[in-house]
Amino acid sequence: MSKLFLVPTPIGNLKDMTFRAVEVLKTVDKILAEDTRTSGKLLKHYDIDTPMQSYHMHNEHRMIDGLVNLIAEGATLALISDAGTPGISDPGFLIVRACIHSGIPVECLPGATAFVPALVSSGLPNDRFCFEGFLPPKKGRQTRLKQIESESKTMIFYEAPHKLVKTLNDLISTLGGDRLASISREISKHFETHKRGTLEELKTRFEHQPPKGEIVIIVSGIPK
């Protein structure tokens, strides 16, 4: 039966690809890829010759109807992002919703995502947490920060390295500099690091040592 597969891809180490993920990518009719150049390297590594089609945040709205119709007519498609699980701060939600509304089966394979190892490695409470992803760059940023001011659960944020210090400053202004936090970078890669301390301590560290690589920020909730 035709369906849409969501297939996680490695966030660093290519060996994090599962056997099942490789099998699915080899057997579907088409792979929807966020960046075909980036994904092409992964497919080549695993000898996957399934045709790819570009699917990203700039074209997803206009492509959804055609892709849903394609699946409804009998095709099986797989959606992948550049790294990690599709739909987690990456395209995926819109096509999943459209498929569900059309009665098309959707199956998400388990696999790599950056925030889980960052959370577990942080040493902060992980029995309850909230995923915030990327804070809005401008419009809506202060509103979002205001919303987390009284959050009691551990919070998870994604950030680009060149914006890290600005985001830490914003979190300090909202939550206070003594709030415990952890910053993980380059997860599953050779230079993976986890730095822990207060928000103020971490800001000072990264002001003097600008980071490289994708960043996950874990921040403790308001003390009870």
How is residue 197 written in tokens? 């301390």
Q: Do 81 and 138 belong together in one domain?
A: no
* 185 SS3 class: strand
Q: Of 83, 108, 133, which one is at a domain's C-terminal end?
A: 108
Q: Do 88 and 183 belong together in one domain?
A: no
Q: Do 132 and 73 belong together in one domain?
A: no
Gap between the Cα atoms of 219 and 204, Å rounded:
16
Residue 1, pLDDT above cutoff 90 = no
CATH number at residue 146: 3.30.950.10
pTM, entire model: 0.91
Q: Do 94 and 124 belong together in one domain?
A: no
Domain count, the chain: 2
| 32: nearest Cα among 12, 4, 65, 1 | 4
Helices assigned H by DSSP within the chain: 19-27, 36-45, 60-72, 93-101, 115-122, 141-148, 164-175, 199-208
- Domain residue limits at 27: 4-108
Burial of 16: CB neighbours in 10 Å, binned 0-12, 13-18, 19+: middle
* 170 SS3 class: helix
Gap between the Cα atoms of 31 and 25, Å rounded:
7
- Residue 5: beta bridge partners? 78, 107
Q: Who's near 172: CB < 8 A, 6+ residues apart?
A: 179, 199, 200, 203
pLDDT digits (tens, 9 = 90+) for 198-217: 999 999 999 988 888 889 99
Gap between the Cα atoms of 118 and 101, Å rounded:
34
In eight-state DSSP terms, residue 86 is T
How is residue 191 written in tokens? 């230079």
Q: Do 52 and 141 belong together in one domain?
A: no
pLDDT digits (tens, 9 = 90+) for 58-79: 999 999 999 999 999 999 999 9
CATH number at residue 40: 3.40.1010.10
pLDDT digits (tens, 9 = 90+) for 81-116: 999 999 999 999 999 999 999 999 999 999 999 999
Look at residue 224 and tell me if it is in a domain.
no
Q: Do 119 and 139 belong together in one domain?
A: yes
Q: Of 77, 108, 139, which one is at a domain's C-terminal end?
A: 108
Q: Do 104 and 47 belong together in one domain?
A: yes
Q: Are 151 and 222 in contact (CB under 8 A)?
A: yes
In eight-state DSSP terms, residue 136 is P
Buried b (16+ CB within 10 A) or exposed e, 131-146: ebeebeeeeeeeeebe
Residue 185, pLDDT above cutoff 70 = yes
Q: Who's near 10: CB < 8 A, 6+ residues apart?
A: 16, 17, 42, 83, 112, 188
Q: Do 130 and 185 belong together in one domain?
A: yes
Average pLDDT, integer, range 123-132: 96
Q: Of 108, 136, 161, which one is at a domain's C-terminal end?
A: 108
